[in-house]
Amino acid sequence: MIKLTGIRKAFGKNEVLKGIDLTVDKGEVVAILGPSGSGKTTLLRCINYLERPSDGEISIDEFAVNCRKPAKKDIHALRRKTAMVFQQYNLFRHKTALENVMEGLVIVKKLVKEEARRRSVELLEKVGLSDKLDAYPSQLSGGQQQRVGIARALALNPEVILFDEPTSALDPELVGEVLSVIRKIAKEGITMIIVTHEMGFAQEVANHIVFMEGGSIVEEGPPKNIFQSPREERTRQFLARFTSESSYSI
Amino acid sequence: MSLDFSFIWTAFVSLLTAVPTTLKITAVSVLCGFAIGTAIALCRMYRVPVLHRIAAAYVTVIRGTPMLTHLLILYFAIPLIVDGLAERFDWAIRSAQIPMIGFAYLSFSITAGAYLSEVVRSGLLAVSKGQMEAAHAVGMTTPQALRRIVFPQAFAAALPNLTNSVIGMLHGSTLAFTVSVVDINAQAEIVATTNWKFFEAYLAAALLFWGMTVLIERLSALLERRVTRYSRGGVA
């Protein structure tokens, strides 16, 4: 279980997160929705300390980090319990697809090379890239790069995978292949937190929707409640375009 | 006065004896300078308290003064310091025991450190921030991430500038003659004093330096092809 308590983050005087409380159960797939600038990505990046929250507490199961005075080793431990899939993929550019997945296993998890290789090959097969093991990121399409990114995250066997707008940099044709991989791993019961603008995908895959605006959580709950009968006016407004679009297609 | 071609050849052969000295000075100053430069670049990029100010001061002072001046200042300062300390603490060493080439090693390493720190810094800046973030997200510590992810890419990006600096230090090493080190240039002078054919001797030196520079360029091109193999996919 992941528990965020009173997470605050300010860049100078600009308060981006105004005390976020969020509980994510094991195996839950959480989609964080909201307009640009609402703090979704910052919140996600706080969970593995790519951003330093100015206040609050992050806990994963029994392990807790007090964001007022985090120890270096706590930050490191937090990062080993989480994995992230980036909007811009951020694959290690000088390493092949296989090496990208192996890197964390060998350097962080200290697996012997053969074992790391075996697991990495398996994962790349799972994301449908068994023919691209030796390709460098510059030789892969965006969708392929992102699938390597997902394999890299899965390899670490984390408590939670954080997805930061995993399809926003992809052209519409490639979005599908990435979403179907995410859908597949969601079914395996891995805890995931996804920041996304793909409403249809969020509705379908997530079992917990969080709607954020202006650095606060406006509303959260199961997709059915949020999409069909949102309590807050702002949520309704935000989802109006999406829901009306889908009603056209019916 | 006509050009004595055969003496150019004679001089050239004799200059070869000084090649190891020139290469040693260049190699030592570039290697030590690279280590100093990397430390400085990291101090400045990570704004290490106190150290980053010292690093910035070092770069501006050393780059702001000529390489020859560094050599001459050290040449006079080191004996004062070494002998002064030796007297006070009763050490057995004296500055006269320091080989002349040692002054060149030390001085040129300091010079190269300042220039190379900027080469390293530009290399590090060329690596996108996302690489470090991804390494952190995978669970690496910052030193692991630097060593495994950032440095190899920074090196590839810095290689053309690095080659420039190596060539600069190769040519700069000729200044070592001022402290009585016999490098290629000094050797040319020595050869010429027997028959006053300085022109021929310097031409021979120029040819030799040119040859060595071409060799460095070739090696660098080969190395560059190797270390940038990953970015030849077409995209990004």
Domain presence at residue B76 = yes
Residue B36 lies in a domain: yes
Question: Could you state, in order of their start, the residue ranges of all structural domains in chain A?
Answer: 2-249
- Exposure string over B167-195, b if 16+ CB within 10 A, otherwise e: bbbbebbbbbbebebbbbbbbbebbbeee
**Which CATH number is A2-249's, of 1.10.1840.10, 3.40.50.300, 3.40.50.150, 3.30.70.100?**
3.40.50.300
| A210, β-bridge pairs | A32, A220
Which residues on chain B place their C-beta less than 8 Å from a C-beta of chain A? 128, 130-131, 133-141, 144, 148-149, 152-153, 156, 229-236
Say if B116 falls within a structural domain. yes
Regarding an ipTM greater than 0.90, the answer is: yes
Distance CA A181, CA A200 (A): 15
Enter the tokens of residue A42: 């910052």
In angstroms, what separates the C-alpha of A38 from chain B's closest C-alpha? 22
Kindly tell me if the per-residue pLDDT of A123 is higher than 80: yes
Report the percent of chain A where pLDDT is more than 70: 97
Q: How confident is the model at residue B228 (pLDDT cuts 50, 70, 90)?
A: confident
pLDDT in tens, A57-103: 999 998 999 998 899 999 999 999 999 999 999 999 999 999 999 99
Question: In terms of residue numbers, what domain contains B143?
Answer: 19-181
Q: Which two three-digit tokens encode residue B168?
A: 């600069």
Encode pLDDT of B15-57 as tens digits.
999 999 999 999 999 999 999 999 999 999 999 999 999 999 9
Q: Do A94 and B152 touch (CB under 8 A)?
A: yes
Interchain pair A104, B130: CB under 8 A: no
d(CA A82, CA A89): 16
Listed in sequence order, the residues at least 6 apart from B150 whose beta carbon sits closer than 8 Å to its beta carbon are B124, B127, B131, B132, B135
CB contact under 8 A, A76 and B139: yes
* SS3 label, residue A220: strand
| Residues in A touching B234 (Cβ below 8 Å) | 138-139
A49 close to A76: Cβ distance less than 8 angstroms? no
Residue of B nearest to A80 (CA): B139
Q: Which of B3, B191, B36 lies closest to B110, judged by CA?
A: B36
> Residue A58: beta bridge partners?
A4, A65
Reference A200, options A250, A143, A246; nearest CA is A246
Q: Which amino acid is at A65?
A: V
* Among chain B residues, CA nearest to A73: B141
In a domain, residue B58? The reply is yes
pLDDT band with cut points at 50, 70 and 90 for residue B4: confident
Total structural domains within chain B: 1
Overall average pLDDT of the A178-207 stretch: 92
Domain membership of residue B229 (yes or no) is no
Q: Is the pLDDT of residue A127 over 60?
A: yes
Closest Cα of chain A to B18: distance in Å? 40
Residues of B in contact with A95 (CB under 8 A): 230
Amino acid at A190: I
CA distance B28 to B17: 18
Determine the distance in angstroms separating the CA of B145 from the nearest CA of chain A, rounded to an integer.
Answer: 10
Give how far A190 is from chain B: nearest CA, Å.
Answer: 17
Q: Which residues, at least 6 apart from A70, have a Cβ–Cβ distance to it below 8 Å?
A: A49, A52
Does residue A83 sit in helix, strand or coil?
Answer: strand
Does some domain include residue B223?
A: no
Nearest chain B Cα to A86, which residue?
Answer: B134
Residues of chain A in contact with residue B230, where contact means CB-CB under 8 angstroms, are 93-95, 136-138
Which pLDDT band holds residue A246 (cuts at 50, 70, 90)? Answer: low
Minimal C-alpha gap between B213 and chain A (Å): 29
Q: How confident is the model at residue B128 (pLDDT cuts 50, 70, 90)?
A: very high
Question: What pTM was computed for the model?
Answer: 0.87
Residue A35 to residue A214: CA distance in whole angstroms:
9
The CATH number of the domain where B54 resides is what? 1.10.3720.10
